[in-house]
Amino acid sequence: MKIDGYTRTCGLFGNPVEHTMSPAIHNTLAKEMGLNLVYVPFRVPAGCMRQAVEGAFALNLLGCNVTIPYKTEVIPFLKEIDPLAERIGSVNTLVRLEDGFKGYNTDMPGLYRAMCEDGADVTGRQVILLGAGGVARAVAMLLGERKAKKVYILNRSAEKAKALAEEVNAAYDRDLAVGSALADYKNLPDERFLCIQATNVGMFPKVDEAVIEDPDFYRKISIGYDLIYNPLDTRFMKLVRAAGGQAFHGLKMLLWQGIIAYEYWTGEKVTKEQSDLAYEAMKQAMGITEVKSIQA
């Protein structure tokens, strides 16, 4: 592309940023949509987030993504924050305003769009959420936002699961979530659930692990969604399919969080064809050859 005085810049704040796949997403979209825009990673040293935000505004950046370890640290330096990002306590996208930046969380809307694309809309559904850490907390808030019917939070620490359930119920002022220990899956209603795996169990290199191994648990799952994408086919997913359910990984969440941010920055709507091209560019940058999972 031609870079000139009209070129707009977006970027990524993080530390490290050397292995980010975001440039593959955003620069592919800019090229396909014919926009004069480039996306660049910026490594921000510890303690320099205020200067990074103020510098980005002074240099007329159109917007930024924020990644580890700054998704919470960036919040005090924003002019506004979107309600969902405020509930989650995590910002990964900055959108330029007249006098600063507004913070959004596109990770969870990205997960929602990815799940909808895979036929796993959470609205009105009974959901099992595995985990009660930071990622699970964000997912739980998304489930409240998108009006899940009931959320059963299962975690190794029952206390953490119950605390998260109480926090979610208070945030949405309804009896939405129930927290308990992992072993309490045996007490779940005799139904088929959507299950979201939000722990790091099964992530590379410990690819032969799952939070729960009992096949009886997986017979309760109609759709299993693992937020892990390395490996692309986790043990959790294999156990879901072995019990007759459908299973999906979290790679499209990575794609859609970027697409939503891009739409915020540009005001342009990304088409299905363009999102597919960005997905292929991202996988190519990651060295991934995806094999579609087949239902057992």
Question: 230 falls in which pLDDT band (50, 70, 90)?
Answer: confident
Whether 199 maps to a domain, the answer reads yes
Residues 116 and 138 placed together within one structural domain of the fold: yes
Of the listed ranges 28-37, 58-67, 283-292, the least confidently predicted one is: 283-292
CB 263 within 8 A of CB 113: no
Whether 295 maps to a domain, the answer reads no
Determine whether 79 is an active site residue: no
Residues 27 and 129 placed together within one structural domain of the fold: no
Bigger pLDDT: 295 vs 143: 143
Residues 162 and 210 placed together within one structural domain of the fold: yes
CATH number at residue 56: 3.40.50.10860
Residue 208 structural domain: 109-249
CB 180 within 8 A of CB 158: yes
pLDDT at 204: 87
Q: Is the pLDDT of residue 295 over 70?
A: no
Summarised one tens digit per residue, pLDDT across range 160-209 is 999 999 999 999 999 999 999 999 999 999 999 999 999 999 998 889 99
CB 245 within 8 A of CB 226: no
CA dihedral 124, 125, 127, 133 (to 10 degrees): -30
Q: Is the pLDDT of residue 296 over 50?
A: no
Summarised one tens digit per residue, pLDDT across range 58-89 is 999 999 999 999 999 999 999 999 999 999 99
pLDDT at 159: 98
By percentage, how much of the chain surpasses pLDDT 70? Answer: 98
Residues 127 and 222 placed together within one structural domain of the fold: yes
pLDDT at 1: 75
Counting the structural domains of the chain, the total is 2
Residues 178 and 268 placed together within one structural domain of the fold: no
Model pTM above 0.85: yes
CATH number at residue 244: 3.40.50.720
Bigger pLDDT: 291 vs 116: 116
Average pLDDT score over residue span 128-155: 96
Whether 294 maps to a domain, the answer reads no
Summarised one tens digit per residue, pLDDT across range 86-140 is 999 999 999 999 999 999 999 999 999 999 999 999 999 999 999 999 999 999 9
Residue at 20: amino acid letter: T
CB 114 within 8 A of CB 106: no
Residues 192 and 62 placed together within one structural domain of the fold: no
Residues 158 and 235 placed together within one structural domain of the fold: yes
pLDDT at 270: 97
The arrangement of strands across the sheet holding 101-104 comes to 37-43, 8-14, 63-66, 93-96, 101-104, 80-81
Whether 76 maps to a domain, the answer reads yes
Residues 67 and 15 placed together within one structural domain of the fold: yes
pLDDT at 213: 97
Residues 244 and 271 placed together within one structural domain of the fold: no
Closest CA to 244 of 219, 210, 224: 219
Whether 291 maps to a domain, the answer reads no
Residues 127 and 92 placed together within one structural domain of the fold: no
Q: Given 2, 31, 71, 149, which residue is catalytic?
A: 71
Residues 114 and 244 placed together within one structural domain of the fold: yes
Q: What is the mean pLDDT of the chain?
A: 95
Summarised one tens digit per residue, pLDDT across range 233-265 is 999 999 999 999 999 999 999 999 999 999 999
Residues 113 and 170 placed together within one structural domain of the fold: yes
Whether 293 maps to a domain, the answer reads no
